[in-house]
Amino acid sequence: MKYSTTTITLAESRTDCLIANLKQCQQVARQHGAARFFETSTSDFDDKIGQTHLVNLGPSSPIKKMLVIGGLGASVTREDFSKAVKATATGLKSVKAKSALWALTGTRVKAEDVYWKASASLSALSNVLYSFNQHRQPGKNGDISLNTVALHADARTRGSVARAVRHGQGAKAGLDWARDLANQPPNVCNPSYLLKEARKLGRNPKVTVTSLDEKKMGELGMGAFMAVTRGSENPGRMIIVRYRGARNSSDAPVVLVGKGITFDTGGINLKSSGGMQDMKYDMCGAANVLGVTRAAVDARLAINLVTIVAAAENMPSGRATRPGDIVETLSGKTVEILNTDAEGRLVLCDALAYAARFKPKVLIDVATLTGAAIMALGAHASAVYANDDTLANALLEAGEASGDRGWRMPLWDEYQVGLKSQFADVSNIGKGGAGSIVAACFLGRFTEGQKWAHLDVAGTAFPGGPQNGATGRPLGMLFRFLIDQAEA
Ligand code: BES
Ligand code: MN
Ligand code: ZN
């Protein structure tokens, strides 16, 4: 999908599909001498938020079709605008059109600027216009025909719209890639596959991609990571992507860490079989930090970024870790592994300790870490943990602005108590409920001295069930956060 900006007047433009509010469509129809036809074909249209209506002006018209966005009067709230553009994007999916022109000028959004409006529209499009058909026979999958969308701007708004297009184009590339990685079946997407994919980022001269293999990780002392990967025939990898986009290459980087369990069987604490296939999505944290890295690189954000992916497969086998095993982590702390299904925090604790060597400005990890996060917040908000209020607020605000929301959770000392181990420095499971919080507290023991945030995205990264694939979340929130950091 190619996004662009145009300032040509709507009346003069040529497109397969004009997208605009009722009034604008009416006006353009009149200018094309199709006022009567437009009136009759929209006479039953309910001009409300969430409604859209397709008007076919015919193949010989310079504007072949019009998709009318319902409910967009002169001024609307941002919630209504978001709903309207989501409905519009969904409507557009089934319209046969190669090009579209989206008019942004007809509606003001209260307390938001043109950049926001353009970004919200592009983000709705990007989210909806995605499909994953790599493993079907080609042809009959209702592939999306649309390939260019121009946003209409005027002389005054052109700069803001162009900026939204640059960001939106990067976000789309990152989002599609992240969702593809996550939707791949687990016999394709293993740690080596993630490395092979991540290496593609290295085509940009500002990016370098390196990795640690199991031998190296063993030597470094990543005993927790090794405990997870040892049961699998597919070797684990720590993948490190460095993007040097800031004007000053020595600026402290934002460091992102992603949980990349390419399949989580639970290990010796084997999961029950119902729904186990969804555990291919246990690498969504990795996919989405890689995706946001791609977005930042493509949008040429002026920021230094280090992205670390802890990629492993959690399998039961004769070599697998046993409940009760004690391992020494990179940090020097020992962990008693009382449940091999609490593996995400094990690969992450070594990745987070490793991250310290990049001297992060802030350190943020993303993980489908606990079923408890789904219990707490469902699919509507990512659980946000942070040991720094400024960082927490910046992430929450980025979530609001992008429509990819988070909700802050506590890291109180009281929750740490359950992690006490009888035989080691810390246990990998807690007691007394609050599973998402306790898991976050575990990670917090490996990020002392860092400005650190943890996003538990078990509920938001994939909704579960047979119909829905990966969402790419929290890519929207993180990308907004990175843009804000780059432009601060
Ligand atoms: N990957 C799972 C968490 C998960 C479950 C994500 C369902 C998305 C959907 C994680 O590794 C896990 O198994 N967590 C356990 C932790 C428990 C053993 C302390 C959980 O949440 O039950
Ligand atoms: Mn698990
Ligand atoms: Zn897991």
pLDDT digits (tens, 9 = 90+) for 173-205: 999 999 999 999 999 999 999 999 999 999 999
Nearest protein CA to atom 14 of ligand 1, as residue: 370
Question: What DSSP string describes 213-280?
Answer: -HHHHHHHT-HHHHHHHTT-SS--EEEEEEEE-SSSTTSPPEEEEEEEEEEE--TTSPPPSTTGGGGG
pLDDT digits (tens, 9 = 90+) for 90-126: 999 999 999 999 999 899 999 999 999 999 999 999 9
Q: 369 CA distance to ligand 1 centroid (A)?
A: 6
Q: Could you give the strand order of the β-sheet that contains 2-6, starting from the edge strand earlier in sequence?
A: 2-6, 148-152, 99-103, 15-21, 63-69, 52-56
Q: Residue 341: CB within 6 Å of ligand 1?
A: yes
pLDDT digits (tens, 9 = 90+) for 132-171: 999 998 876 667 889 999 999 999 999 999 999 999 999 9
Rounded to whole angstroms, the Cα distance separating 342 from 261 reads 11
Instruction: CATH number for 2-153: choose from 3.20.20.210, 3.90.1150.10, 3.40.220.10, 3.10.20.30.
Output: 3.40.220.10
Report the CATH fold assignment for 178-487.
Aminopeptidase (3.40.630)
Q: Specify the pLDDT at position 24.
A: 96
What token pair was written down for 388? 């720094």
- Compute CA 278 distance to the chain's CA centroid, rounded to the nearest angstrom: 17
Nearest protein CA to atom 3 of ligand 1, as residue: 370
Rounded to whole angstroms, the Cα distance separating 136 from 209 reads 31
Q: Specify the pLDDT at position 467.
A: 72
Question: What DSSP string describes 65-102?
Answer: EEEEETT--SEE-HHHHHHHHHHHHHHHHTS--SEEEE
Per residue of the chain (488 residues), give pLDDT as tens: 999 999 999 999 999 999 999 999 999 999 999 999 999 999 999 999 999 999 999 999 999 999 999 999 989 999 999 999 999 999 999 999 999 999 998 999 999 999 999 999 999 999 999 999 999 988 766 678 899 999 999 999 999 999 999 999 999 999 999 999 999 999 999 999 999 999 999 999 999 999 999 999 999 999 999 999 999 999 999 999 999 999 999 999 999 999 999 999 999 999 998 999 999 999 999 999 999 999 999 999 999 999 999 999 999 999 999 999 999 999 999 999 999 999 999 999 999 999 999 999 999 999 999 999 999 999 999 999 999 999 999 999 999 999 999 999 999 999 999 999 999 999 999 998 999 999 999 999 999 999 999 999 999 999 987 777 999 999 999 999 999 999 88
Nearest protein CA to atom 17 of ligand 1, as residue: 342
Rounded to whole angstroms, the Cα distance separating 8 from 367 reads 45
| Sign of the four-CA dihedral 349, 353, 355, 360 | positive
Q: Residue 264: CB within 6 Å of ligand 1?
A: yes
Ion ligand 3 — residues with CB < 5 Å: 261, 264, 282, 344
- Which residue type occupies 207? V
DSSP assignment letter at 416: G
pLDDT digits (tens, 9 = 90+) for 341-364: 999 999 999 999 999 999 999 999
- Best residue for ligand 1 mutational test, from 288, 341, 348, 349 (most atoms within 8 Å of Cβ): 341
Burial of 157 (0-12, 13-18, 19+ CB in 10 A): buried
Q: Residue 372: CB within 6 Å of ligand 1?
A: yes
Q: 236 CA distance to ligand 1 centroid (A)?
A: 19
Rounded to whole angstroms, the Cα distance separating 483 from 488 reads 8
Q: Specify the pLDDT at position 142.
A: 67
Q: Residue 324: CB within 6 Å of ligand 1?
A: no
Do the domains 178-487 and 2-153 match in fold?
no
The answer to whether the CB of 108 falls within 8 A of the CB of 140 is: no
Ligand whose nearest atom lies closest to the CA of 259 = 3
Q: Residue 164: CB within 6 Å of ligand 1?
A: no
Tell which atom from ligand 1 comes closest to the C-alpha of 370: 21
DSSP assignment letter at 49: T
Q: Residue 456: CB within 6 Å of ligand 1?
A: no
Active site positions, annotated: 271, 345
Q: Residue 429: CB within 6 Å of ligand 1?
A: yes
Q: Specify the pLDDT at position 14.
A: 96
Rounded to whole angstroms, the Cα distance separating 473 from 402 reads 11
Q: 69 CA distance to ligand 1 centroid (A)?
A: 41
Rounded to whole angstroms, the Cα distance separating 386 from 481 reads 14
What token pair was written down for 364? 């943020």
Question: CA angle, 450 as apex, 419 and 360 as ends, to 5°?
Answer: 135
pTM score of the predicted model = 0.97
Rounded to whole angstroms, the Cα distance separating 113 from 95 reads 29
Q: Specify the pLDDT at position 432.
A: 85
User: What is the maximal distance between C-alpha atoms in the chain?
Assistant: 83
Domain range summary for the chain, segments of one domain joined by +: 2-153, 178-487
Rounded to whole angstroms, the Cα distance separating 29 from 11 reads 9
Rounded to whole angstroms, the Cα distance separating 476 from 366 reads 13
Q: Specify the pLDDT at position 135.
A: 96
Q: 439 CA distance to ligand 1 centroid (A)?
A: 10
Q: Specify the pLDDT at position 84.
A: 97
First and final C-alpha spacing in the chain: 29
